[in-house]
């Protein structure tokens, strides 16, 4: 395993940002930066040995500081949406940042994706990566409690990219961490994702309203455009679905040994299997990628997909959802693994 740490840039307010790049013996090479604990690049060969960039992102820090749709970022303190930016815990009402009016999205205006994390490189015989740490103070974006967060990312010789999250808090607080990478297994911005074949092990999804807030209803996928229980091209029903930006309830909750999803690009031969202990995965097809800049050109709608493993959106406002509240004395622990292969 190869591991290399380098300066990545200086923020507009004078803070240093570093990168860490890991590479295994199979030609997979990925880079993270301390700004947002973000995955900035993931490169791997196709069946012919041609290496492509598979994620949307940038090669410079200024672009990450600018406006972009969370390319590769670690999002929190609470990923996804909170209705009206409000919730109650133990009878106490809280208001958090409204950054997608009238709702809260992905931790607010200065969420975890906008913070500089501490980084500690890891290199072992068959895996390499880093542990990123962050302290989010009481009142950060309106959330209660001081939270200490850790994310360990590892690339292995078995072509696994592993994300392990932990957090502790001194007050009850919502917590929901995920990675927000945009993937195209054919190569970044090379062609739309319509012919990617997706299997999603989910019998139901959370019904969203027009603001993408869950209504509380769980809809069975049978006989709907949302049925990916058998392999299906992403583009087959995407128009009928109005584009995908939905939280799917995983059929095998908390089972890291059972795949949550599989995606394959038959032309390149690349495939990705997602395993997680989270209860849900947000499947997003980049519906709002209209004219967004990336290192490889202009991203268009449906030029990439996200599979964001996470708790349920707006969970604290729905009694029938798994509660996503971290309390003092408890430890938040989540793990997601992306397994890559070529056929």
Structure letter (DSSP) for residue 315: G
C-alpha 119: how far from chain center: 19
Residues facing 93 on adjacent strands: 88
Instruction: Give the active site residue among 180, 196, 246, 302.
Output: 180
Measure the CA–CA gap between 328 and 228, rounded to whole angstroms: 39
Measure the CA–CA gap between 160 and 183, rounded to whole angstroms: 15
Check if the beta carbon of residue 279 is closer than 8 Å to that of residue 312.
yes
Known catalytic residue at 125: no
Pairing of strands 51-53, 38-45: antiparallel
Known catalytic residue at 253: no
- Sheet with 118-123: strands ordered across: 118-123, 127-136, 147-156, 160-169, 332-342, 270-276, 261-264, 197-200, 232-233
Give the C-alpha distances (Å, rounded to integers) separating 342 from 158, 192, 217: 12, 20, 38
Quick one: CA dihedral 315, 318, 323, 325, positive or negative?
positive
CB atoms within 10 A of CB 90: 8
Instruction: Give the active site residue among 53, 127, 262, 308.
Output: 308
Residues labelled as active-site residues: 180, 308
């Amino acid at each position: 395993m190869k591991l290399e740490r380098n300066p990545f840039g200086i923020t507009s307010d004078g803070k240093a940002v570093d990168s860490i790049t890991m590479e295994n013996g199979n030609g997979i090479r990925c880079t993270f930066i301390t700004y947002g604990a973000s995955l900035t690049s993931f490169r791997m060969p196709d069946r012919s040995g041609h290496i492509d960039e598979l994620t949307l992102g940038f090669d410079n820090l200024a672009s990450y500081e600018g406006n972009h749709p969370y390319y590769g970022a670690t999002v929190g303190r609470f990923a996804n949406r909170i209705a009206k930016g409000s919730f109650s815990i133990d009878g106490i009402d809280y208001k958090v940042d409204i950054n997608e009016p009238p709702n809260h999205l992905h931790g607010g205006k200065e969420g975890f994706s906008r913070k500089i994390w501490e980084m500690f490189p890891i290199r072992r015989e068959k895996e390499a990566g880093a542990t990123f740490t962050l302290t989010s103070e009481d009142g950060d974006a309106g959330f209660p409690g001081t939270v200490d967060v850790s994310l360990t990312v590892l690339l292995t010789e078995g072509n696994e990219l592993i994300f392990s999250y932990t957090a502790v808090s001194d007050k009850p607080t919502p917590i929901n961490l995920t990675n927000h990478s945009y993937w195209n297994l054919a190569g970044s911005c090379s062609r739309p994702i319509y012919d990617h074949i997706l299997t999603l092990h989910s019998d139901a999804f959370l019904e969203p309203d027009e603001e993408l807030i869950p209504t509380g209803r769980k809809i069975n996928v049978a006989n709907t455009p949302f049925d990916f229980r058998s392999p299906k091209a992403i583009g087959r029903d995407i128009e009928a679905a109005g584009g995908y930006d939905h939280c799917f309830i995983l059929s095998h909750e908390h089972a890291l040994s059972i795949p949550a999803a599989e995606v394959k690009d038959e032309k390149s031969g690349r495939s990705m299997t997602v395993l997680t202990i989270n209860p849900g995965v947000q499947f997003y097809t980049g519906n709002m990628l209209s004219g967004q800049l990336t290192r490889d050109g202009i991203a268009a709608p449906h030029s990439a997909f996200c599979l964001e493993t996470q708790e349920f959106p707006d969970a604290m406002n729905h009694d029938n959802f798994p509660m996503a509240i971290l309390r003092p004395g408890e430890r938040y622990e989540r793990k997601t693994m992306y397994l890559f292969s070529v056929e």
